[in-house]
Amino acid sequence: MADYGQFCPVAKASELLSERWTLLIIRELVLGTHRFSDFQRALSRISPTLLAKRLSQLEDTGILIRKKPQGRRGYEYFLTAAGKDLAPLIEHLATWGMRWTRGQLKDKELDVNFLMWDIRRRLQLDALPDGEIVICVIFGELEKHKSWWLIVCDGSVDLCTENPGKDVDIYINSTVRSLIQIWEGKIEIKRALNEGLISTQGNQLLAKSLPDWFGICKYAHIQPEPSTIQSR
């Protein structure tokens, strides 16, 4: 952990929060992630060892608490009062990032795991019909995890990379880059459909209402500034 040797509150806070992956773990906690396996799905590029270390550090500093769920293996992680007080910081960082750092997407930034995990939690369930709905998203350019299944049932959404053996209600075909651009609000869904950046097959009602229920970024409405800061 960094030690800046200053009593300044910015320095003291930075000592706790500036470790790699720490703010993204807090982001996930703010967004409702609690299980170790779900952190791994949202942060697929962090090793299990480092994730366990960061969670332990956050517990030691009083930002989160670890609880044993009834009748289940493993632990769940929840923000303490100090951790919850970081939620506005995450909000401001997200807003700032959308406004000032939305430059050209680099290939290394095309994280399909995070994309699909956030689409899963951002699905607008009220805009979907009742009953079980199975959505299959296909990325034709990928060799691994080419197809992703979203299974909506009883107010919850499961995300699978293995075929669940269920009848699919709607297929969505896209590239990872195009779907990220839709997710971040750079391209509207209707425009993407008209330009062939994505296509659908299956239930026509679901296809027609796609802009209403598809899960895009919470901050997609924030317009970027003309001169954005280029990430390294």
Full pLDDT tens readout for the chain, 232 residues: 678 888 898 898 998 898 999 999 999 999 999 999 999 999 999 999 999 999 999 999 999 999 998 888 889 999 999 999 999 999 999 999 999 988 778 889 999 999 999 999 999 999 999 999 999 999 999 999 999 999 999 999 999 999 999 999 999 999 999 999 999 999 999 999 999 999 999 999 999 999 999 999 999 999 888 876 665 5
Closest CA to 101 of 218, 230, 221: 230
Interstrand relation of 170-174 and 133-139 (parallel, antiparallel or unpaired):
parallel
Query: Residues 100-109, buried b or exposed e (16+ Cβ, 10 A)?
Result: eebeeeeeee
Closest CA to 173 of 207, 200, 203, 144: 200
Distance between terminal CA atoms of the chain?
A: 23
Q: What pLDDT score does 70 carry?
A: 86
Q: What pLDDT score does 53 carry?
A: 97
| Predicted TM-score (pTM) of this structure | 0.90
Closest CA to 185 of 88, 64, 99, 93: 99
Closest CA to 64 of 25, 94, 91, 38: 25
**Domains (range + CATH), the chain:** 9-85 (1.10.10.10), 107-213 (3.30.1050.10)
